[in-house]
């Protein structure tokens, strides 16, 4: 096996090793998350020497990450957490109304809230990412869902590349999936892939005496489903295929990328399996290694020909990036270069991929000029088009605890602009209100929430922009929530909240009355807020954690297109971006599984290109 170690894989750690000046590989993949990790494994399994570079370490055997139930602890863990402090708008006064605004107190602790102590330094709105082998698929809740067909087909419309059709994209999910909840033979699923999928036991829904079941039945009534069928519908396959699936309002059983024993399944597993395989695939993993820029062929830069990526510059050491809470002021590491004989693939995610491109001279020329970065290719779309789902929820405290499982529902609100469903909600005895150090707040044993994700947000006006030419600095991230179509999106969220709130009232004794915490505080007897007040609350308190689209695929006629349909960075050679930043629009409710599908497609495209190149070489030298 070709990988760097401090200890054997059985002892859990794949560790960083210094790069020799002559070190080179066919492919270099930067970032090991849902885009880069599987891609590197696929390239190596095809026989190409591949280097996978990850800024973090390997926590694959750590129960905090390996057990999917510990996802809240994983996202809070300083072992892997990168803290990005983002903005939701261009109005600083509006952002300061976000109830979980975070401040640095100066004594090693955070203050979260609206009334910081004197002298506290404003940080902003926390947006944690995972610096670890496997990326954010190692600290998320593991929800696996499909985008609407239109979210794939838009790429066909933009580029003319029919390989992006929703029908064709499904084959990549079947390729990677190892389904553990359906009997083999379902044509919509795969059973031999590296990604385990599983569902929860929803037998609780058969007990009509439970308050949670009463809420379930009321939700069925409110959304046009048969309450008497609700106990069966909660086991419906949320990954089903068929006509008008995206227009179907229904309960489902939430699927997670975890096995039936509750062990997380992620790119970490696939990378480690590739390293450990007796076939000795040519995969090398470098951990605790920060990529500072992509290198380009000097001759092509000097003679004005199309620039070609030929490698990367790296800085080695743990916690070098300033988003890492363990970063020590002034800490740096040795800098060296590694060569790629075929291609460099950037898979750093929606924040770091555009940052790496810009530091390498690819991005808006005026922005690069501010930091004296030589322009390799003026691409105005790099770091633009940032999008995300809006998230919120109806959270209340009952008079008694609710013993229930999870209700998963996809539905359409009355003002949705198309026939497609626009809300993904899950309801249960939990509290989830966004991200801040130490989230979530436990409101006691009687807490009950219907959290919701808004599908197909109308605004993708956010940006990721440099603050310096220092690769250790965090970029400035501004989502510009509700910039376009904001009133319409807020109306849809309010409609969803009103429907969910009605269902709460079906819980009966001893749970009632509910005391709602937000978005409309109080009980049914004394609640006074109207739709406008709810919309204002949601506008100020919406949160997100599905950032995409900052290096988006687009057509030749689109000024902000960064990639072509084969993931190639426009205007240069030998460089691709393969991660969630490539999506032109936010893909459904949860991007983890769609990004793994995208990764499998990228592997196919890259390997096809390599085969074609090799054929040309053979003809040339025949």
What average pLDDT does range 424-442 have in this prediction? Answer: 97
Which residues are within 8 A (CB) of 310 and not within 5 positions of it... i.e. 6 or more apart?
295, 296, 297, 339, 340, 344, 574
- Say whether pLDDT at 325 is over 90: yes
CATH numeric code, 201-253+389-541: 3.30.410.40
Rounded-to-integer distance, Cα 589 and Cα 455, Å = 6
The residues with which 378 forms a beta bridge, in sequence order, are: 363
Q: Measured between alpha carbons, how far is residue 164 from residues 32, 436, 559, 590 in Å?
A: 23, 37, 21, 19
pLDDT bracket for residue 11 (50, 70, 90): very low
List of residues 6+ apart from 330 with CB closer than 8 A: none
Q: Which residues are annotated as a binding site for FAD?
A: 132, 140-143, 291
User: pLDDT by residue (tens digit) across 588-604?
Assistant: 999 999 999 999 999 99
How many other β-carbons are positioned within 10 Å of the β-carbon of residue 156? 16
Q: What is the pLDDT of residue 2?
A: 38
pLDDT over 70 (residue 8): no
Residue 20's pLDDT band, with cuts at 50, 70 and 90, is: very low
Torsion, Cα of 220, 222, 225, 229 (10° steps): 30
pLDDT tens, residue by residue, 512-538: 999 999 999 999 889 889 999 999 999
At 471-489, the pLDDT tens digits run: 999 999 999 999 999 999 9
- The pLDDT tens digits for 370-398 are 999 999 999 999 999 999 999 999 999 99
**Region 253-266: what's the mean pLDDT?**
98
The predicted pLDDT at position 18 comes to 42
pLDDT grade, residue 621 (50/70/90)? confident
Is-contact 218 211, C-beta < 8 A? no
Residues recorded for the chain: 622
Query: What is the rounded distance in angstroms from the CA atom of residue 313 to the CA atom of residue 353?
Result: 15
Distance CA 93, CA 284 (A): 48
Q: Report domain extents, the chain.
A: 9-63+266-382+549-620, 201-253+389-541
The whole-number pLDDT of residue 4 equals 39
- The pTM assigned to this predicted structure is 0.95
Secondary structure (DSSP) of 352-364? HHHHHHHHTTEE-
pLDDT 10s digits, 127-173: 999 999 999 999 999 999 999 999 999 999 999 999 999 999 999 99
Asked if residue 322 lies in contact with residue 551, where contact means CB atoms within 8 angstroms, the answer is: no
The pLDDT of residue 22 is 54
Average pLDDT estimate for 431-442: 97
What residue numbers does the annotated binding site cover? 132, 140-143, 291
Mean pLDDT of 465-470: 98
> What's residue 285's pLDDT?
98
Q: Would you call 105 exposed, middle or buried from its count of C-beta atoms within 10 A (0-12, 13-18, 19+)? A: middle
Please tell me the predicted confidence (pLDDT) of residue 616: 85
pLDDT, tens only, 31-63 = 999 999 999 999 999 999 999 999 999 999 999
The answer to whether residue 9 scores a pLDDT higher than 50 is no
pLDDT digits (tens, 9 = 90+) for 282-292: 999 999 999 99
Residue 515: strand pairing partners: 397
- Hey, is 265 helix, strand or coil? coil
The pLDDT tens digits of the residues spanning 552-583 come to: 999 999 999 999 999 999 999 999 999 999 99
Q: Which CATH architecture has domain 9-63+266-382+549-620?
A: 3-Layer(bba) Sandwich (3.50)
Is residue 6 scored above 90 in pLDDT? no
């Amino acid at each position: 096996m070709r990988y760097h170690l401090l200890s054997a894989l059985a002892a859990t750690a794949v560790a960083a090793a210094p790069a020799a000046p002559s070190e080179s590989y066919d492919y270099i993949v930067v970032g090991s998350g849902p885009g880069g990790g599987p891609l590197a494994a696929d390239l190596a399994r095809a026989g190409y020497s591949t280097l996978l570079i990850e800024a973090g370490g390997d926590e694959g055997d750590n129960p905090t990450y390996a057990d999917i139930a510990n996802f809240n602890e994983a996202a809070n863990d300083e072992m892997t957490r990168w803290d990005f402090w983002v903005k939701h708008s261009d109005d600083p006064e509006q952002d300061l109304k976000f109830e979980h605004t975070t401040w640095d107190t100066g004594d090693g602790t955070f203050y979260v809230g609206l009334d910081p102590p004197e002298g506290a330094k404003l940080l902003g709105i926390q947006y944690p990412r995972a610096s670890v082998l496997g990326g954010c698929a190692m600290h998320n809740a593991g929800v696996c869902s499909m985008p609407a067909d239109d979210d794939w087909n838009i790429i066909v419309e933009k580029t003319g590349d029919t390989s992006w059709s929703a029908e064709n994209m499904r084959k990549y999910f079947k390729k990677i999936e190892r389904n553990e909840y359906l009997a083999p033979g379902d044509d919509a699923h795969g059973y031999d892939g590296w990604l385990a999928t599983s569902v929860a036991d929803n037998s609780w829904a058969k007990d009509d005496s439970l308050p949670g079941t009463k809420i379930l039945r009321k939700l069925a009534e409110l959304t046009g489903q048969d309450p008497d069928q609700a106990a069966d519908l909660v086991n419906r396959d949320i990954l089903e295929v068929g006509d008008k699936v995206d227009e179907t309002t229904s309960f489902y059983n939430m699927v997670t990328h975890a096995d039936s024993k509750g062990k997380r399944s992620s790119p970490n597993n696939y990378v480690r399996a590739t390293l450990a395989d007796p076939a000795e695939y040519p995969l090398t993993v470098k951990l605790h290694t920060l990529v500072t820029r992509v290198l380009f062929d000097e001759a092509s830069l000097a003679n004005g020909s199309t620039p070609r990526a030929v490698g990367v510059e790296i800085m080695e050491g743990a916690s070098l990036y300033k988003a890492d809470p363990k970063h020590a002021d002034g800490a740096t590491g040795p800098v060296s270069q590694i060569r790629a004989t075929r291609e460099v693939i950037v898979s750093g995610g929606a924040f770091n991929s555009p940052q790496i491109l810009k530091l390498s001279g690819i991005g808006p020329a005026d922005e690069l000029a501010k930091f004296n970065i030589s322009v390799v290719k003026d691409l105005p779309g790099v770091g633009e088009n940032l999008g995300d789902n809006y998230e919120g929820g109806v959270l209340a405290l009952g008079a008694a605890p609710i013993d229930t499982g999870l209700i998963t529902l996809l539905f359409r609100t009355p003002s949705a602009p198309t026939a497609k469903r626009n809300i993904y909600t899950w309801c249960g005895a939990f509290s989830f209100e966004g991200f801040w150090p130490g989230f979530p707040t436990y409101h006691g044993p009687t807490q009950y929430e219907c959290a919701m994700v808004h599908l197909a947000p109308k605004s993708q006006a956010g940006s990721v922009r440099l603050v310096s030419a220092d690769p250790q600095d965090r970029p400035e991230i501004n989502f510009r929530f509700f910039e376009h179509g904001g009133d319409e999106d807020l109306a849809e969220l309010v409609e969803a909240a009103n429907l969910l709130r009605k269902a709460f009232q079906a819980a009966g004794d001893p749970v009632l009355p509910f005391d709602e915490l937000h978005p409309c505080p109080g009980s049914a007897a004394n609640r006074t807020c109207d739709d406008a007040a709810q919309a204002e609350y949601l506008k100020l308190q919406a949160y997100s954690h599905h950032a995409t689209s900052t290096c988006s695929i687009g057509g030749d006629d689109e000024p902000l297109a960064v990639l072509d349909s084969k993931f190639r960075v426009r205007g240069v050679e030998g460089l691709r971006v393969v991660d969630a930043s490539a999506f032109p629009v936010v893909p459904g409710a949860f991007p983890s599984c769609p990004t793994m599908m995208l990764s499998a497609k990228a592997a196919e495209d890259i390997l096809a290109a390599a085969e074609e190149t090799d054929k040309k070489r053979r003809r040339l030298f025949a």
